[in-house]
Each structure stands twice: as C-alpha cells, then as structure tokens.
Amino acid sequence: MSLAVFEKLVALFDAEHAHYRVVTHAPVRTSEEAARVRGTALSQGARAMVCRVKRSSTQRVYVLAVLPADQQLDFTKVVTAVGGKKASLATPEEAQALTDCEMGAVPPVSFHPDLLLIADPSLALRNDEISFNAGLRERSIIMAAKDYLRIVAPQLETII
C-alpha cells in the first residue's frame, strides 16, 4: 500500500550503510505467514503495533510498539514506559494517518513526529537479524539487528 514508506526505508538504510536485504513475496496477513515466506524464524519478526496511550482526560500519545513477533504486547508495560494511564490499539484510520501504511504492513520505524517509537530489547538480543514488512504486505526487509538499533534508535523498553 505504501511504496513511499518502502522507498524511505531503503534510502535511510542505504545512507546509513546498513546490512539488509529486500524480499518480495506473496502478500501476508500474519506474522506466521510472513516468517514462512521470508524463510526466517518467527522470533526474528519485528511486529510493529500502533497504540494510543491516554495520559490524561485531554492528552494522549501515539506509540509504535515494536516486539518480537512470537511475543504478546503488554499494554500495562507500554503505559508505564510512556507515563500514561491506559493503552489500546489505535484504530486502523489512526494507524494509517500516522504511518502511511495499512495495518500489517507497518515497519518498525517511525517517520511521523507524533508517533513515539519504543522497542522491546529482546528483539535484538535474541537474533542477529530481524525481519519486518516494509510498508507493503508483499515486501519485507531482513537486516542486522545491530544496524536497526544504531540507525532507528528506538527507545528501549520492556513491553512484553
């Protein structure tokens, strides 16, 4: 859906001399399908979830929470990480507006100033490489985990 996001990712990773490769495959809907078509372990998948965190009755923050695809997001830990009171998934419309991607194609990178990026440290500790959808359901990037951390510099928080 978002070739523009894919192109931004490639430009960013090229400019920063990342070790990565692009995999084109049939469109996928689940993390399990993605791992299968990429030829990677499920634990290598970087699941990116757009969350809405309420800080007060009038203030909310949007968070792109990144975690290993074989784990479940703990919303309570997301709330703690960003100083909120309650968290939920953003609506598909909110996610689209913040990422320019349909849900399921969101990469673990935020290009929007109002989308705070946090990642669980286990993502890079468990595997040398991570994999993720790159703005399109039929295109993935597999890259060195250390390059992801160096280039994207997410706020590291335990969120699983």
* Domains delineated in the chain: 3-156 (3.90.960.10)
Q: How many helices (H) and strands (E) does the chain have?
A: 6, 8
Quick: pLDDT tens for 67-124.
Answer: 999 999 999 999 999 999 999 999 999 999 999 998 889 999 999 999 999 999 999 9
Residue 1 pLDDT: 54
Q: Answer whether 0.75 is exceeded by the pTM.
A: yes
Gap between the terminal Cα atoms of the chain: 29
Name the maximum alpha-carbon separation found in the chain. 45
Q: How many residues does the chain have?
A: 160
